[in-house]
Amino acid sequence: MDSKRSSQYNEKEEIEQNVADVSIAAAQTERRLRLKIDLMVVPTVTLLYLLCFIDRTNIGNARLAGFEKDLHLEGYDYNTVLSVFYVSYIVFEIPATICCKVIGPGWFLPATTLGFGICSIGTAFVHTRSQACAVRFLLGIFEAGVMPGCAYYLSRWYRRAELTFRLGLWMLMAPLSGAFGGLFASGILKLSHFGSLHGWQMIFAIEGILTIGVALVAFITLTDRPETARWLTEEQKQLAVDRIKGERLAQTVLLDKIDATKLKHGFLNPITLSTSLIFLLNNITVLGISFFLPTIIRTIYPGRTTVQQQLLTVPPYMVGAFFVVIIPSLSWRFNHRQIFIAMTGPTIIAGYSMFLATLDANIRYAAVFLCASTAFTLGAMCNAQVSANVLSDSSRNVAIGTNAMFGYVGGLIATWTYLPGDAPRYPIGNSINLACAVSWTTLAVATLFWMKYDNKRRDERETVAREEIAGLSQQEMQNLEWRHPGWRWKS
């Protein structure tokens, strides 16, 4: 009898060991796949976004180098030139995002990058405000699909928790673009000329040529989705699809066709709208920093040379880049996003409070670091949050596009926050940014409590809700999206 029990125990132990070995092997296989995707997908996407942000914000560096003077811009003319970009950007945001899905990111992202690279070169040859506005309007059209397109593209490859960190690496390019932009501009301005171009013209031309070169390479390196990746084996392709599909409740395919019902659900999703509003408020700060930091530095240290002022813009961006890596890393580690979104506000509140309180140069420069520290992280966190709280590919596409569209409404507002007559204290701009930080922190906390409340409510009535949808077809079940009784919000 004891011998039989011992034999059964050994057999059970052997089965458990085999299951554990299989589980470890599967985890190792998935880690190898994830590393391969990291190396093949993330670098190109991050480089495209770096150039996108540089070509959008290098006008701030050009301003220090005489852009305003040479074009005879007066009063609010510079703000008008900035605003025109966001008008076209906002109008074409969602259409461009849908085009990205229809055409495929592997073709759409390089093509639109080629377009805004050409626009950047074109800016080097403008001579009037009207010409500058026309080129900036075209730049907005071509850049409209880059941010949502890149975020949507990455969501095709990564699980929810993994996506946040990869979006962090991608959004790292926003603060780095400010740092690189300042370094590039200071280096370029040391040249006597570039062909027939001089001064600020060289900034637009050289950076535009670099963008075109990277776009041409991206046509070769980007692939639309796991099934078309030449660098994956057939087994890896299937695993890449299965691990993403496994997180999508009631969805039978990974990449669905454009569907009006799913697009509507993606746009009207409560977390999409709440997060998009947070991103709008945040972008007033982020793009205010991106466009006006060189100008602000000039008012803090008016006695420095133009090159020195350009270089002083670099350190705050490096601090911002540090937090863009750290906060999404913690989010991935704990698999939560909403609480980290709320945590970005306090440092920015402190920074703008310091701006309003004093004109002391060193304190104001320290405040720049606080303002730039956590502001840039919400690009990754907000895109990850809207992506985590939708189901189908169509809904994810429009949800990310909606988030980006709201964000750049904030960008349009940002172009009018720092006005010439308010220097050097800029009370209006600093007060607006302070109010934005307080507002998005409050909204993020309120949304977190609502998600917990609604999940609890769904738990209590799940049985009744499942009975109500028992007679629906598979397609109707898929179209329920976040209204499905089995759905829970991912905080």
The string over 107-145, giving b where at least 16 C-beta atoms fall within 10 Å of a residue's C-beta and e elsewhere, is: ebbbbbbbbbbbbbbbbbebeebeebbebbbbbbbbbbb
The closest alpha carbon to 134, from 142, 126, 144, belongs to 126
Task: Write the CATH number for 410.
Answer: 1.20.1250.20
Residue at 281 is within a domain: yes
Q: Is the pLDDT of residue 358 over 80?
A: yes
Distance CA 187, CA 202 (A): 11
pLDDT given at position 339: 94
Burial 38-53 (b: 16+ CB within 10 A, else e): bebbbebbbbbbbbbb
CA dist 84 and 134 (Å) reads: 8
Across 53-62, 208-217, 227-236, the highest mean pLDDT is recorded for 208-217
Tokens representing 127 are 């001579």
Number of domains in the chain: 1
Tens of pLDDT, residues 226-249: 888 888 888 888 888 888 776 665
In this predicted structure, the answer to whether residue 17 has a pLDDT above a threshold of 60 is: no
Which residues are 194's β-sheet partners? 197
Indicate the pLDDT class of residue 13, thresholds 50, 70 and 90: low
Token pair of 458 as six digits: 């769904």
Distances (CA, A) of 259 to 73, 101, 243, 248, 472: 47, 12, 23, 17, 18
Which residues are within 8 A (CB) of 433 and not within 5 positions of it... i.e. 6 or more apart? 284, 285, 288, 348, 352, 371, 417
Question: What is the rounded distance in angstroms from the CA atom of residue 475 to the CA atom of residue 477?
Answer: 5
pLDDT cut 90: percent of the chain above it: 24
CA 165 – CA 247 distance, rounded (Å): 17
Residue 13 inside a domain? The answer is no
- State the pTM of this model: 0.77
* Cβ atoms within 10 Å of 284's Cβ, excluding its own: 28
pLDDT above 60 for 225: yes
At 460 the pLDDT is: 83
In a domain, 342, yes or no: yes
- Tell me the residue range of the domain where 430 lies: 27-483
Residue 154 belongs to some domain of the structure: yes
Q: Round to whole Å and give the CA distance between 244 and 160.
A: 8
Tokens of 21: 């070995």
* The 3-state secondary structure of 182-202, one letter per residue: HHHHHHHCCCCCECCECCHHH
Give the type of residue at 334. Answer: F
- Is the backbone peptide bond immediately before 424 cis, with ω within 30 degrees of 0? yes
pLDDT value for 314:
82
Partners of 197 in the beta sheet? Answer: 194
CB of 444 closer than 8 Å to CB of 377: no
The answer to whether position 14 is within a domain reads no
Q: Return the structure tokens found at 298.
A: 């000039």
How many helices (H) and strands (E) the chain has is answered by: 22, 0
Give Cα separations from 460 to 1, 134, 236, 456, 488 (angstroms). 49, 56, 40, 6, 12
pLDDT for residue 111 is more than 90: yes
Q: What is the rounded average pLDDT for all residues in the chain?
A: 84
**Do the domain assignments include residue 6?**
no
Choose among 8, 215, 250, 237: nearest CA to 121: 215
Within a domain: 427: yes
